[in-house]
Amino acid sequence: MEQMRADWDALFAAPVDAHVEDVVANGVPCQWIAASGARADRVIVYLHGGGYQVGSLVSHSELMARLSAAAAVRVLGVGYRLAPEHPYPAPLDDSLVVLAWLRGQGYLAQEVALAGDSAGGGLALSVLLALQLAGQAPPAAAFTMSAWTDLTAGGESYEARAALDPINQRPMLVAMARNYLGNIAATEPLASPLHASAAQMQKLPPLLLQVGERETVVSDSELFARKAAAAGASAQLEIWPEMFHVFQQFPELPEAREAVAAGGRFLAAHLSAASSRKNSS
């Protein structure tokens, strides 16, 4: 596992065009990433992907820097604990601890947004559900890329897109889910947010879910967006033609640059709208 993590970091590590500062948020290692001109009075909390078992602040720093530039907002990357050493709910607990730390730093809920890719995208949605269950105000918005929302891997696309997806196949995802879940059912909403009730989804903040057309996990975003919208939440779905899992992590692709730019605009707009509402009140 340690070799897999090192290989993953080596694969995605890249020069970062941003100011980077390590910080420990109530015991959780994090990283501030601020592109030139990024505002510091708003925060995008970023939860990296990697199936809850690989991925890190190293592997995702370049993507976080581009998101910071696109939104003109500082990003706080979360180095949550990984399975199988730290299964559910460790990543969720660490994410909630970081949000509590931000509140202690003086940030209001509407001054914070969430973003994440793959497992981190699913984790961002789980965080929203957990905050709601705790009776806490939600962040201003959330942006996900190729979110893994269904740890049962039950969506139609797991079979229909299997021949198109060069990265994720159902047996691998089921095995990763087993390592993360331990003895918890794959339908537990705080681990597998697609299985949340309509009442839980009703109060979600505005969402933008991006996914590639060639992905086996297309259903994870499609079904989540449909279910959230049916419950009354604002859930915008973008399926990018011919794209693969977390294509946004490859800046040489024009589609990746366009998608991150769109995600940045979405988050910036909702953070600015929250600021306006606060000022008018």
CA angle 11, 14, 19 (to 5 degrees): 145
Q: Tell me the pLDDT tens digit for each residue of 8-26.
A: 999 999 999 999 999 999 9
The beta strand positions in the chain, using DSSP E, are: 19-25, 28-34, 39-47, 73-78, 112-117, 142-145, 207-212, 235-240
Instruction: State the residue for tokens 């890249």.
Output: 14
For residues 197-206, give the mean pLDDT.
95
Mean pLDDT of 142-158: 98
Q: What is the mean pLDDT of residues 220-225?
A: 98
Can you tell me the distance from the alpha carbon of 252 to that of 189, in angstroms, rounded to the nearest whole number?
36
Do 85 and 52 touch, CB atoms closer than 8 A?
no
Query: What percentage of the chain carries pLDDT values higher than 70?
Result: 97
Max distance between CA atoms of the chain, in angstroms, equals 53
- 182 within 8 A of 247, measured Cβ to Cβ: no
Angle between helix 119-133 and 90-104 (nearest 10):
60
- CA 115 to CA 128: how far, in whole Å? 11
For 153-222, what is the HEC assignment?
Answer: CCCCHHHHCCCCCCCCCHHHHHHHHHHHHCCCCCCCCCCCHHHCCHHHHCCCCCEEEEEECCCCCHHHHH
Is residue 92 a contact partner of residue 46, using CB atoms and an 8 Å limit? no
Give the pLDDT of residue 93. 98
pLDDT tens string 75-108: 999 999 999 999 999 999 999 999 999 999 999 9
Report the CATH superfamily, name and number, of domain 2-280. Alpha/Beta hydrolase fold, catalytic domain (3.40.50.1820)
If pLDDT is split at 50, 70 and 90, which confidence band does 274 have? low
Mean residue pLDDT across the chain:
96
Q: How confident is the model at residue 281 (pLDDT cuts 50, 70, 90)?
A: very low
Distance CA 183, CA 179 (A): 9
Q: Which of 120, 111, 166 is nearest to 143 (CA)?
A: 120
What distance in Å separates the CA atoms of residue 176 and residue 64, rounded to the nearest whole number?
Answer: 24
Among 81, 66, 5, which Cα is nearest to 33's? 66
Domain boundaries, the chain: 2-280
Q: Rounded to whole angstroms, how far apart are CA atoms 254 and 242?
A: 12
Task: Supply the angle between the helices 2-12 and 57-71 in degrees, to the nearest 10.
Answer: 40
**Residue whose pair of structure tokens reads 């949000």 in the numeric block:** 99
Which of 274, 272, 250, 266 has the alpha carbon at shortest distance from 66?
Answer: 250
Other C-beta atoms lying within 10 Å of the C-beta of residue 109: 16
Q: What is the pTM of this model?
A: 0.97
CB 118 within 8 A of CB 49: yes
Calpha distance 135→97 (Å, rounded)? 15
Catalytic residue ranges: 118, 215, 245
Give the mean pLDDT of 247-268: 98
Residues 60-83 have a mean pLDDT of: 98
Give the C-alpha separation, 44 to 274, whole Å. 14
